[in-house]
Amino acid sequence: MQNNFMKNVFIYLAIVILVIIGVVFTLNLWMPSSRGGFGYNMMSRGGDHMGVSGNYDKKLPNKSPADRVPLTYIEKNGVKEFTLTAEAINWEYIKGKTLVAWGYNGQIPGPEIRVTEGDKVRIVVINKLPKATTVHWHGVDVPNDQDGVPGVTQEAIKPGETYTYEFTAKPAGTRFYHTHGGAAMVDEAEQLDMGLSGAFIIEPKNYAVTKPDREYTLILDEWDTNGMSSMMGNGNKMGSMASMAYNVFTINGRAFPDSEPLKVKKGELVRIRMINGGTSAIHPMHLHGHQFKVVAVDGNPVPLSAQLTRNTQPIHPGETYDIEFIANNPGTWLFHCHELHHADGGMITSVVYE
């Protein structure tokens, strides 16, 4: 009798312990993330973004920074013609780790377009995505019918179709291009969060005179490697846009420690063009060991008398900031997002003196 009683006690205790373990596991799985404060807990998948592979798709081409090709143009009757192909890829955001992304010309971010103010520009867009899309020229004063808003200024570019944009590049400054989705204000955030953006730099006509010694363009972005969606038609989308559970944060498509460093030489004037290509996060970018001046906002020059000297500059989604500093303090210095969940998620690079 006593043996049966003890046996039942052990069985009940085992059941209670299993229930407690299950509850703790469930809470840990869905507690607020240590990588951005939303939704899924990355610690339950290996500790950090370096421990996951993202939504790798064997059917898609694998791309990394080694595959980047500068975007060139063909001049036709005085017009500079560029070609952008929107397509799905596996992007290597850190060495050995990939995520399913949508890029232009097989790159994240898309290749930089660089022209001179007043140039006549033609951009041929080929849509190889599984959904309709468009391209908007952010901060560029284009004619209304070239603005790239589906259902407002144009019909969306269907899968397999080609569409041509044509306009005069103005005004000078740090601009960028990005998708406006396939339906007016319905899926722009989803498509942009897949990676469809790139820099569009319009140099002033006298830029050779005012050009700094060194110049870098940085596109800031955020990703959710654990999200579930039907964007790809099979659940392989890098993020759930409903929750915006970002856990990886990149500079020019790469997460630290594999983000590309900014090389400088002592005495150089260095300009950094920062573009927030993401949809939701604010990134206060902080430079160690130096002070910088904010010389342009949204691509528009800041008058000398109004330039602020700072070492941290917040940048909202869709904003661009140009900063300049004198390389006067040799060493290796961090340049990172001071929303430290974003830094922990990869939004760090370094300024390295040669």
Q: What is the pLDDT of residue 31?
A: 37
Per DSSP, helices labelled H in 164-260 are 188-193, 207-210
Domains and CATH numbers, the chain: 2-49 (no CATH), 52-203 (2.60.40.420), 214-353 (2.60.40.420)
pTM over 0.75: yes
CB 93 within 8 A of CB 239: no
Which pLDDT does position 285 carry in this prediction?
98
Residues facing residue 251 across a β-bridge: 220, 254
Spatial distance between the Cα atoms of 55 and 90, rounded to a whole number of angstroms: 8
283-287/312-315 β-pairing: antiparallel
What separation in angstroms does the CA of 108 have from each of 206, 304, 314? 30, 34, 23
H-state helical runs in the chain: 2-30, 188-193, 207-210, 340-344
Per-residue model confidence (pLDDT) at position 185: 79
Torsions phi, psi for 341 (to 5 deg): -65, -35
Question: Tens-of-pLDDT digits for all 354 residues of the chain?
Answer: 545 555 564 566 556 555 555 544 444 433 333 333 323 233 222 233 333 345 667 899 999 999 999 999 999 999 999 999 999 999 999 999 999 999 999 999 999 999 999 999 999 999 999 999 999 999 999 999 999 999 999 999 999 999 999 999 999 999 999 999 999 778 999 999 999 999 999 999 999 999 999 999 999 999 998 763 434 443 333 433 445 789 999 999 999 999 999 999 999 999 999 999 999 999 999 999 999 999 999 999 999 999 999 999 999 999 999 999 999 999 999 999 999 999 999 999 999 999
Rounded-to-integer distance, Cα 251 and Cα 221, Å = 7
Give 273-316 pLDDT, tens digit per residue: 999 999 999 999 999 999 999 999 999 999 999 999 999 999 99
Whole-angstrom Cα Rg for the chain:
23
Q: Tens digit of pLDDT for each residue in 99-146?
A: 999 999 999 999 999 999 999 999 999 999 999 999 999 999 999 999
Residue type, 62: N
Instruction: Determine the pLDDT at residue 253.
Output: 98
pLDDT of residue 57: 77
* Number of Cβ within a 10 Å radius of residue 5: 9
**Those residues with Cβ within 8 angstroms of residue 153's Cβ, 6 or more apart along the chain or in another chain:** 144, 145, 146, 147
CB 188 within 8 A of CB 179: yes
In degrees, to the nearest 5, what angle opens at C-alpha 348 toward C-alphas 65 and 310?
125
